[in-house]
Amino acid sequence: MPLLAKSLNEIQEALRRGELTCESLVRSYLTQIEKTSHLNAYLEVYGEEAVALAQAQDRIFTERSIIPGKLWGAVFSIKDVISYKDHVLTAGSKMLQGYRALYSATAVQRLLNEGAIIIGRVNCDEFAMGSDNERSYYGPVKNALDEQKIPGGSSGGSAVSVQANTCLMSLGSDTGGSVRQPASFCNLIGFKPSYGRISRHGLIAYASSFDQIGVIGRNLDDIRVAYQVMQGPDKYDGTLVSQDSVLEKQDSVGAPMRLAYIEQSLTHTGLHDDIKRAFKSNITKWKSQGHVVDAVSFELMDFVIPSYYVLTAAEASSNLSRYDGIRYGYRTDAAGKLDEMYTRSRTEGFGAEVKRRILLGTFVLSVGYYDAYFAKAQKVRRLIRNQFEAWTKQYDAIVMPMTPTTAWQIGSGKSPVEIYLADIYSVLANLVGSPAISIPLGHDAVKMPFGLQILSACFTEEKLFSIAHLCETDVKSV
Ligand code: GLN
């Protein structure tokens, strides 16, 4: 197995035996970053800094046999919406060009505390709004499997940085699929924990009641370790669950597994035949292995996308009001009255997709339309959650395709609505706050990958990982 494709466990074994040093590992990744720079995954590479940290860790290990922590030898890239103290943070936007983070996100700090090394900041759709990574002010990211194709988004840089073997794992953010969907398009694993598991402190807010930090990697166990290091209460994020409720719900899965799939997810007109076939053949296989796999009906399926987009746009319009050229962000050069200065700064600083969502969000929150759109979408969200809770009382997990199609062409000219509709399977987990994971499921006729998505009850991450392990064995033999 080539060095850069090794799992964390294999890396740590090699470090322990002295066959590998952190420095040589980091240098190999840096060479790989250079070789693949045309993919546009990295916005900034922390070369010298990463090498210096690796050297320090090597010294401590050889001189004093001290291992820096659980993430010794784990090299990460981080999405450009996650704060790393004194490092530039732009959210893929002109609005924050040159802005430096004043503190590190709790998630980042916890990785560092366990010996992880951060190698660079990676590209994403502006303010994490998008599904293709074509909405970054810093240009699109290319899928390493076919450079004419998108890597997915909004954490496209995260996915490609792992796909191109430039790091072991990447931190992304997942508001409506942004970690899982690009993982699926790049043949990787993408994991989003329950809402309330990983602190959002230091994560640039898009839609606060949906946002979670997630991980993209190649190996389930690696991702699980990273998750375990980052999760847990933090005084800076009041929405995190307490450790007690964490323990209560961590039951593991027994055999046979009890799985449900949503009937309407397979009758969806946009679903690619190859994906449908691969998914169905897995259902047959699980059944033949003695697992329970039932179809459940989801009458609210058609309301998933509208409620997600109404609510996230509303939250975004509020969260993004701080970028006014005074408190934060780009300020126009054109002088004028105060009102004009705000307007010009925001007009020049934000890209089209971000503006579209701010306008949509402001509209659905406005006095005349609040009840018709925002309040109604909140009610629909509650109904969807109730339905999901009922399923998870009966089943260990809900399985479905991650995406209706594989990655599309860069510059395909798809309309915004077409792109929103492609999120049909990804936003459910965020509406209900559950953990979800995408693992490789198969390839279409032109060898582009697609993923299998698994969702389990809120705060049952350990169970989700064990189900993913069971399904992974099957998937590999597809
Ligand atoms: N594609 C979704 C959106 O544009 C998801 C974004 C995300 O998860 N950050 O809102």
**Which residue in the list 79, 142, 149, 463 is annotated as catalytic?**
79
Q: Does residue 102 lie in a domain region?
A: yes
Distance 423 CA to ligand 1 centre (A): 8
**Per-residue pLDDT tens for 392-422?**
999 999 999 999 999 999 999 999 999 999 9
> Sorting pLDDT into bands at 50, 70 and 90, what band is 475?
low
C-alpha–C-alpha distance, residues 307 and 364, integer Å: 11
Task: Report the run of H or E that residue 438 belongs to, with start and end.
Answer: strand 436-443
Please report how many Cα atoms fall inside a 13 Å half-sphere around the Cα of residue 21, on the Cβ side.
16
- Catalytic site residue 280? no
Which residue bears the tokens 């490789």? 440
Which residue bears the tokens 């992304």? 172
The verdict on the CB of residue 178 being under 6 Å from ligand 1 is: yes
Domain of 162, in residue numbers: 8-245
What does DSSP assign to residue 253?
P
Say if residue 101's pLDDT is above 70: yes
Distance 182 CA to ligand 1 centre (A): 11
What is the pLDDT averaged over residues 260-276? 96
Terminus-to-terminus CA distance in the chain, angstroms? 22
Say if residue 379's pLDDT is above 60: yes
What is the pLDDT averaged over residues 53-68? 96
Query: Please, are residues 175 and 428 in contact by the beta-carbon 8 Å criterion?
Result: no
Q: Do strands 292-296 and 258-262 pair parallel, antiparallel, or not at all (unpaired)?
A: parallel
Task: Report the run of H or E that residue 295 belongs to, with start and end.
Answer: strand 292-296
**Per-residue pLDDT tens for 303-357?**
999 999 999 999 999 999 999 988 888 999 987 899 999 999 999 999 999 999 9
Say if residue 437's pLDDT is above 60: yes
Say if residue 249's pLDDT is above 60: no
- Catalytic site residue 307? no
**Which residue in the list 83, 104, 136, 154 is annotated as catalytic?**
154
Say if residue 255's pLDDT is above 80: no
- So what's the pLDDT on residue 118? 98
Q: Whose CA is nearest to atom 4 of ligand 1?
A: 130
Least confident of 214-218, 254-258, 359-363: 254-258
25: CB partners within 8 A, 6+ apart: 3, 11, 54, 73, 75
Distance 426 CA to ligand 1 centre (A): 9
Q: Does residue 22 lie in a domain region?
A: yes
Q: Report how many domains make up the chain.
A: 1
Say if residue 130's pLDDT is above 50: yes
C-alpha–C-alpha distance, residues 285 and 204, integer Å: 42
- Catalytic site residue 79? yes
- So what's the pLDDT on residue 246? 59
Say if residue 156's pLDDT is above 80: yes
Least confident of 11-15, 74-78, 300-304, 337-341: 337-341
Residue 129 CA: nearest ligand 1 atom is: 4
Q: In what order do the strands lie in the sheet with 75-79?
A: 42-45, 117-122, 75-79, 169-174, 212-217, 189-192, 436-443, 449-455, 397-401, 258-262, 292-296
Residue 339 neighbours by CB distance under 10 Å: 8
The verdict on the CB of residue 423 being under 6 Å from ligand 1 is: yes
Say if residue 221's pLDDT is above 80: yes
Residue 173 CA: nearest ligand 1 atom is: 9
429: CB partners within 8 A, 6+ apart: 177, 180, 192, 435, 436, 455
> Sorting pLDDT into bands at 50, 70 and 90, what band is 472?
confident
Distance 125 CA to ligand 1 centre (A): 9
- So what's the pLDDT on residue 462? 95
> Sorting pLDDT into bands at 50, 70 and 90, what band is 364?
very high
Residue 430 CA: nearest ligand 1 atom is: 8
Residue 308 CA: nearest ligand 1 atom is: 10
Percent helix, strand and coil across the chain, each to the nearest 5: 45, 15, 40
- So what's the pLDDT on residue 248? 47
Q: Does residue 477 lie in a domain region?
A: no
C-alpha–C-alpha distance, residues 400 and 389, integer Å: 17
Q: Does residue 115 lie in a domain region?
A: yes
Q: Does residue 418 lie in a domain region?
A: no
Share of the chain above pLDDT 70, in %: 96
The verdict on the CB of residue 179 being under 6 Å from ligand 1 is: no
The verdict on the CB of residue 128 being under 6 Å from ligand 1 is: yes
**∠ CA 70-151-97, rounded to 5°:** 80
What is the pLDDT averaged over residues 433-457? 97
Q: Residue 241 is part of a domain; what is its CATH number?
A: 3.90.1300.10
C-alpha–C-alpha distance, residues 132 and 147, integer Å: 13
Q: Does residue 368 lie in a domain region?
A: no
The verdict on the CB of residue 131 being under 6 Å from ligand 1 is: yes
What is the pLDDT averaged over residues 231-245? 89
Q: Does residue 197 lie in a domain region?
A: yes
Distance 174 CA to ligand 1 centre (A): 7
Say if residue 77's pLDDT is above 90: yes
Q: Does residue 158 lie in a domain region?
A: yes
The verdict on the CB of residue 207 being under 6 Å from ligand 1 is: no
